[in-house]
Chain A
Amino acid sequence: MSDVTIPPSDSLAVLEKQRSTAETFGIPLAVLLEITHRCPLQCPYCSNPVELDRSGKELTTDEWKKVLSELAEIGVLQVHFSGGEPTARKDLVELVKHASDAGLYTNLITSAVLLTRERLSDLADAGLCHVQISFQGIEEGLADRVAGYKGGHRKKLEVAKWTRELDLPLTVNAVMHRQNLHQLPDIIQMALDLDADRLEVANVQYYGWALKNRAALMPTVAQLEECTGIVETARERLKGRLTIDYVVPDYYALRPKKCMGGWGRQFFNISPAGKVLPCHAAESITGLDFESVRSNHSIAWIWQNSDAFNRYRGTGWMKEPCKTCEFREIDFGGCRCQAFALTGDAANTDPACALSPLHETIFKQAEAEAAGETSRFLYRNFAGGTLESENGT
């Protein structure tokens, strides 16, 4: 049996992946639906864009239903309901029901703080297949401070318990960074205590909000090595009991990550306003025009033909050192959003790659930040962010 598995940040794969070359791409197996950017939490590493979509721009219930039907028709198998906080949408149960009826495998990626037991039960009845709850730490002091939301941690524990009582499979998603990496062993134990099936140990990826907060979040090399060791030991110990997926930050790597499996090859997501995007950070790249599901085009057409997807698809767009690099079809030059954020040109080599002329500078900078004193967060919100007060509130 071949196991087509993908790190959570690149959460998709094509079944044809063994045969694929740079220029081939199928319809993604799974699609991320960011149904709203509204969220009661203010995590400083939020993967949403810094420019958030306001509720007035969000697709309507009928528009999302049409999207779900269309996705099932073209061969998408899984949908992830995400956000923002997806449970902030009043029509979530209706959307999950519609997706299930269309034959889609449905996954809820939630902060959990807005859920009641009754609503979770309604979601289960609507056919929800899997619940993923984010945790910011092991105890409420740190966890609530990271989330910028008092009482959040306690509520998450409660919802995780309900999830298992309702016989829904549970993934604990732990976003890791310098200020909570020391809690990793306890987080693994928490996942076991919560009877989770799966744990995602996801180191922060530094774009958007997280890039603004890099100095407060970047781990040290030593921390990261310890973290990797802990994950490897736990994986062996908990085989068959708890699946652990692990995402490392790429700053300390020599080779960049194959971001999204390559631009426009295995993944797209749909933003609250209906934009079809090659990744959830893609709107941070200026000069690209993303088509919307509200346009006259089908989703399949947008995926296959739109300029934004074709701009960095395959290898034809590459410059040196990517252009002649033997790894160009292995990692596709890393992450376009990171290349844009750190070099000003998305077609440059991702500086996470040791072959990038900027690699050394960035590595040094990250190392210096990791050793620095900064621990104050810039909280994520619609106002462009709020700096944490000196005493941590």
Chain B
Amino acid sequence: MAGPRNISVSGASRPVLPRHAKLRYDETRKVWVILAPERVLAPDEIAVEVLQLCNGERNVGDVADQLAAKYAAPREAILVDVIAMLQDLADKGFLTEIREKTS
């Protein structure tokens, strides 16, 4: 089954792009794009990096840890920005998450 919709992103979430949203490098225009039904989104560099780290195993907190280490920046500020970016994507219907099986 498809992943859940209408998700609320937190540090513990393990978000992933759903099947209908594909992150791809556009060779012609030299930009990263997210391909979705009747839409093409143009994520900025940070968004691309975050989405590449969102592999369904890492949670948002892990992603913030990695970025904080890489950019030697305060983790809490990064976490806030990453959650805001992912929540925006979720509200547009282009993000789902991995949840533990309940049955």
Interface residues, chain A, with chain B CB atoms under 8 Å away: 1-6, 8, 11, 13, 15-16, 26-27, 29-30, 74-75, 77-78, 103, 105, 107, 129-130, 132, 164, 167-169, 171, 197-198, 239-243, 245
Whether A78 pairs with B40 at a CB distance below 8 angstroms is yes
Shortest Cβ gap from A157 to chain B (Å): 19
User: Chain B contacts of A171 at CB under 8 A?
Assistant: 37-38
User: Chain A contacts of B43 at CB under 8 A?
Assistant: 1
Show 18 residue pairs from A and B whose CB-CB distance is below 8 angstroms, ordered by the A residue: A1-B88, A1-B89, A4-B40, A4-B42, A15-B42, A75-B26, A77-B24, A77-B35, A77-B40, A105-B22, A129-B35, A169-B19, A171-B37, A197-B5, A240-B5, A242-B93, A243-B93, A245-B38
Known A75-B26, A171-B37; contact A129-B20, beta-carbon cutoff 8 A: yes
List the B residue with the shortest CB-CB distance to A14. Answer: B29
Q: Is B18 an interface position by the 8 A CB rule?
A: yes
User: Chain A contacts of B38 at CB under 8 A?
Assistant: 5-6, 8, 11, 30, 107, 171, 198, 245
Q: Quick one: CB contact mask for B6-34 with A, threshold 8 Å, 1 for yes?
A: 11000000000011101010111101010
Whether B29 pairs with A13 at a CB distance below 8 angstroms is no
Whether B29 pairs with A240 at a CB distance below 8 angstroms is no
Whether B40 pairs with A30 at a CB distance below 8 angstroms is yes
Q: Is B85 an interface position by the 8 A CB rule?
A: yes
Whether A77 pairs with B33 at a CB distance below 8 angstroms is yes
User: Chain A contacts of B29 at CB under 8 A?
Assistant: 15-16, 26, 75
**Contacts A75-B27, A169-B20 supplied; 20 other A-B pairs, CB < 8 Å:** A1-B41, A1-B42, A1-B89, A2-B42, A4-B39, A5-B39, A29-B40, A30-B38, A77-B24, A77-B26, A105-B35, A129-B20, A129-B22, A169-B18, A171-B38, A197-B5, A198-B37, A240-B7, A240-B93, A241-B5
User: Chain B contacts of A243 at CB under 8 A?
Assistant: 92-93
Q: Is B90 an interface position by the 8 A CB rule?
A: yes
Whether A130 pairs with B31 at a CB distance below 8 angstroms is no
List the A residue with the shortest CB-CB distance to B28. Answer: A75
Contact check: which of A3, A103, A129, A240 meets B41 at CB < 8 Å?
A3
Leading 3 A-B pairs by shortest Cβ distance: A75-B28, A169-B20, A105-B35
User: Chain B contacts of A77 at CB under 8 A?
Assistant: 24, 26, 33, 35, 40
Taken together as a complex, chains A and B put the C-alpha atoms of A242 and B93 apart, in Å, by 7
Q: Is B44 an interface position by the 8 A CB rule?
A: yes
CB proximity to A under 8 Å, residues B36-73:
37-44, 47
User: Chain A contacts of B20 at CB under 8 A?
Assistant: 129-130, 169, 197
List the A residue with the shortest CB-CB distance to B27. Answer: A75
Taken together as a complex, chains A and B put the C-alpha atoms of A5 and B36 apart, in Å, by 10
Shortest Cβ gap from B56 to chain A (Å): 15
Shortest Cβ gap from B81 to chain A (Å): 12
Whether A1 pairs with B28 at a CB distance below 8 angstroms is no
Known A75-B28, A77-B35, A167-B19; contact A13-B40, beta-carbon cutoff 8 A: yes
Q: Is B1 an interface position by the 8 A CB rule?
A: yes
User: Chain A contacts of B18 at CB under 8 A?
Assistant: 169
Q: Is B2 an interface position by the 8 A CB rule?
A: yes
Taken together as a complex, chains A and B put the C-alpha atoms of A2 and B2 apart, in Å, by 26
User: Chain A contacts of B31 at CB under 8 A?
Assistant: 15
User: Chain A contacts of B24 at CB under 8 A?
Assistant: 77, 103
Taken together as a complex, chains A and B put the C-alpha atoms of A197 and B96 apart, in Å, by 12
List the A residue with the shortest CB-CB distance to B91. Answer: A240
User: Chain B contacts of A132 at CB under 8 A?
Assistant: 37
Taken together as a complex, chains A and B put the C-alpha atoms of A132 and B47 apart, in Å, by 28
Q: Which of A3, A5, A16, A245 has the most CB of B within 10 A?
A: A3
List the B residue with the shortest CB-CB distance to A105. Answer: B35
User: Chain A contacts of B92 at CB under 8 A?
Assistant: 3, 240, 243
List the A residue with the shortest CB-CB distance to B44. Answer: A1
Known A1-B85, A130-B20, A243-B92; contact A27-B28, beta-carbon cutoff 8 A: yes
User: Chain B contacts of A8 at CB under 8 A?
Assistant: 38
